[in-house]
Amino acid sequence: MAENLHEITDANFEQEVLKSPTPVLVDFWATWCGPCRALAPTLEKLSQDYSGKIKFCKVDVDHNPNNAAQFGVRSIPTLILFNGGHPVGQLVGNVARQNIEALFSKTS
């Protein structure tokens, strides 16, 4: 996994995402998901480009189903942007980089 992507579990989700002082983009994904794998390089590049501004996290829904269920994730990949401990935007599917960047405007 890329240096700026953090693997999150149900156990550390609250600390790493909800209590984060910076906005957090969470990628709910699974290893068997083709669109998730296709989206990964885009997220890796964004995590480098927005380093220090937005925290990028990944949650494997097969091993950590609780938070996916709590936030209504029904399809993967699902990206949810959290700011101040609350979800402020969501995208579903292998979306384009510009769509993800447009989501970041919800943090200001």
- Which residues are catalytic, by number? 33, 36
SS3 63: coil
Element at 101 (helix H, strand E):
helix 97-104
9 secondary structure, DSSP code: -
Q: Measured between alpha carbons, how far is residue 86 from residues 21, 24, 41, 42, 51 in Å?
A: 12, 10, 26, 24, 20
Going by C-beta distance under 8 Å and a sequence separation of 6 or more, which residues neighbour residue 85?
A: 17, 18, 19, 20
